[in-house]
Amino acid sequence: MTNLLNEVSRHLNDNVIIQLSKQLGSINPNQVKGATQIISELLLHAMSNSANNQGRGDGLFGAIKRDHDGGILGDLMGVLTGKNQVNNPKTMNGEGIINHLLGKKQIEAAQVISQQTGLNFFKSGVLMQLLAPIVMGVVGQKQRSGGLDLGGLAQILLGSGGQQSTQRGNAGGIFGKLLDMDGDGNMMDDLLNIGMKILKK
């Protein structure tokens, strides 16, 4: 079964990591690289959960077909630097993707990423939003090239995100528990959103 996690990592080459580091404020690229690996797995895990959920699967599948065909992967550096503009604004709406996939759990996710990598809590949140369109693009490209229906996409996501674990501590198990929890969030939601908006200015 195709491992989408490896496919995502292939697109997150050294140049992309350096560019992401600059967008976060010239953070150590090695630190950012470690965080991207954990975030990529988290997002694939979250997509796997959604695709295998009768109530949410159709919404995820529709968004992938409509807004994420993988076109951004052809010139990812151009997209990240702003030299290549994307016609569909939803394609790059990382905030919307994260809200859909993680909801109130993005606070806990940012905390785990920060604890695992040492990356600032707020910058962990921003990096999730920067990576979300890339991960969705990889999944969308696979769906389009394989002509996959929701069931086929769910199977690939299950093999790539749902059953993988990171090499950095027990992050994979933590994320599995995190995504299976029901949570209403807390006042940290507003704090994270405010902090991320300040960093992105």
pLDDT of 53-98, one tens digit each? 877 888 888 899 888 988 899 999 999 998 888 888 899 999 999 9
Cβ 41 vs Cβ 171: under 8 Å: yes
Residue 198 has pLDDT above 90, yes or no: no
Structural domain count of the chain: 1
Give the Cα separation of 69 and 56 in Å (integer): 19
**Residue 21 in this model has a pLDDT that exceeds 50:** yes
Q: Where residue 174 falls among pLDDT bands split at 50, 70, 90? A: low
Which pLDDT value is given to residue 85?
A: 85
pLDDT of residue 20: 94
pLDDT above 70 coverage of the chain, percent: 78
Angle at 122 between CA 120 and CA 124, to 5 degrees: 65
* Domain with 158 in it: 4-200
**CA nearest to 65, candidates 156, 129, 143:** 143
Q: Which has more confidence, 108 or 138? A: 138
Between 157 and 128, the higher pLDDT residue: 128
Instruction: Using alpha carbons only, give the angle 69, 93, 110 rounded to the nearest 5 degrees.
Output: 115
Tell me, what's the pLDDT at 176?
61
The 10 Å Cβ neighbour count of residue 50 is 21
Greatest alpha-carbon pair distance for the chain in Å reads 43
- Answer for the pair 165, 173: CB distance below 8 angstroms, yes or no: yes
84-106 burial: b if 16+ Cβ within 10 Å, else e: eeeeeeebbbbbbbbebbbeebb
CA distance 71 to 66: 12
